[in-house]
Amino acid sequence: MTKLILIRHGQSEWNEKNQFTGWVDAKLSKKGELEAKLAGELIKDLNVNISNSYTSFLKRATDTLSIVLRVIGDKNTGVKEAWELNERHYGSLTGLNKSETKAKLGEKVLNKYRRSWNLAPPPLEDNSIYLKRFSLLNKKIPTHKIPSTESLKDTYNRVIPYYKEHIHPNIIKGKNILVVAHGNSLRALCKYLFNISDTKINILEIPTGNPLYIKFSSDYAKIIESLYLDKNRKQLLFHNE
C-alpha cells in the first residue's frame, strides 16, 4: 500500500515567541530541532522507503526535512523545494505577537483573519521591514504570483494544483511520499485529501513535528488509514465520509 507522510515543521523561533510568521524565514528553535529528530525516529520505526520528498522555500521546513532524512538514513530520496508549499502569507499580521494582536483587534476579528476560509488580513506594506526576512529562494517565484496577503482559500489554490501535478502522480505510481511543510499549507492539503468542508476546516490544527501517516487503498481511490505517529500528542483527524 502506498503511504503519504505529512509533517508540519518543528517549532520555529517565531512560533516560540508567539508571532505571526507567514513567509518570514524563521529558523527552528531548539525544541523544533528535537521535534524534527523525533519525527525522523518515528518514521524510521515504520521501515518505509521514501521515494520522493517535498518541502517549501522556508528554512524551518527544509531544515526539518534534512533532519528527518538524516535520522532515517535515507540518502536516495529525491527532494523538491516548491514555493507553492510555503506557509500562508499573513499580510499585515506578519511579525505581530498573537496575544497582543488579539487584545488590540478583539478575539472575534482576529479569529476571522486566522481561521476563516476566504478572508485574508490586510496586505503587507511594500516597505515592511519583514520583507528583508523572507526567503531568498522567493526570487525564483514569478513576480505576478507573489502575494501580499492570503486567505486559507488562496493558500489552497496554490497547494492543491501543485499536489495534483507533482505529488499525486507519484502516489499512483506506488511511491511512498514525504511532505514537510507548514500549518496552513498542510491544512489546505488535508482539506482536499479528507474532503473537509469550508466551515469545518477552521477547527483543524496541525501539530508541529508530529508525522501524519496516510495509507491509500490499492487502487489509490481512497484513504484507508490515517494517524499521527506520536500518539502522546494531540490528534485531530478527519476521514472520508
The DSSP 8-state label assigned to residue 233 in this structure reads S
Work out the end-to-end distance of the chain between its first and last CA atoms, rounded to an integer number of angstroms. Answer: 21
Active site residues: 9, 87
Write the pLDDT tens digit of every residue in 138-197: 999 999 999 999 999 999 999 999 999 999 999 999 999 999 999 999 999 999 999 999
Crossing angle, helix 183-193 and helix 152-162, to 10 degrees?
70
Write the pLDDT tens digit of every residue in 66-122: 999 999 997 778 899 999 999 999 999 999 999 999 888 898 888 888 888 999 999
Residue 233, pLDDT score: 66
Residue 15 pLDDT exceeds 90: yes
Backbone angles phi and psi of 155, in degrees to 5:
-65, -45
Domain at 3-29+48-151+174-228: CATH code: 3.40.50.1240
CA 164 to each of CA 88, 90, 171, 204: distance values in angstroms, whole numbers, following the listed order? 19, 25, 10, 22
DSSP code per residue over 100-123:
HHHHHH-HHHHHHHHH-SS-PPPP
> What is the arithmetic mean of pLDDT over 24-44?
97
Q: In Å, how far from its chain's centre is CA 64?
A: 11
Residue 236 pLDDT exceeds 70: no
Residue 241 pLDDT exceeds 70: no
CB 209 within 8 A of CB 11: yes
DSSP code per residue over 59-109:
HHHHHHHHHHHHHHT--S-EEEE-GGGSPPP-GGGTT-BHHHHHHHH-HHH
* Residues in a beta bridge with 208: 8
> What is the arithmetic mean of pLDDT over 22-32?
97
Backbone angles phi and psi of 103, in degrees to 5:
-70, -35
Residue 234 pLDDT exceeds 60: no
